[in-house]
Amino acid sequence: MLVAAANPPVCRLLDYGKYKYEQARKERRAKRSQKVGLLKEVRLRPKIEEHDLQAKIRTTKKLLEQGNKVRLVLRFRGREVVYPELGRKVLREVTEASKEIAVVSSSTNDQRSIALVLSPVALKKTKETETDAKT
């Protein structure tokens, strides 16, 4: 016999304080299991040296692999603003190096800076890659 169809209807008495406590515990448990993708920032310069650029690329890849979004900010100082192609070249190099694990989700151009936001790509294992790994 279903409880909803019972005659007379069933009424449950409970401690409201205990009920509120149980609901709060459920919410905390649900919050704990959620993964929040944070937005991290990596700052670059248009005339960055190659070794420093490679270090920034490694940092960017590490942050993306952790599941964070990464904002790449390239700032121009003084007369560097006259050569925006140098900045675009640096940003293109970073995005090319991390294209397997990230995609560009947005970009902005200010007068003195260029910013890109890289979002991590969900890495999905297919049956083909699993069989390739076994052989």
Domains of the chain: 39-120 (3.30.110.10)
For residue 71, give the H/E element and its range. strand 69-75
Quick one: pLDDT at residue 22?
95
pTM of the full predicted structure?
0.64
List the chain pLDDT tens, one digit each, 135 residues.
Answer: 556 677 887 888 889 999 999 999 999 998 887 766 689 999 999 999 999 999 999 999 999 998 899 999 999 999 999 999 999 999 999 999 998 999 998 889 998 999 999 999 875 544 445 555 555
Phi-psi region of 78 (alpha: psi -120 to 50; beta: other; left: phi over 0): left
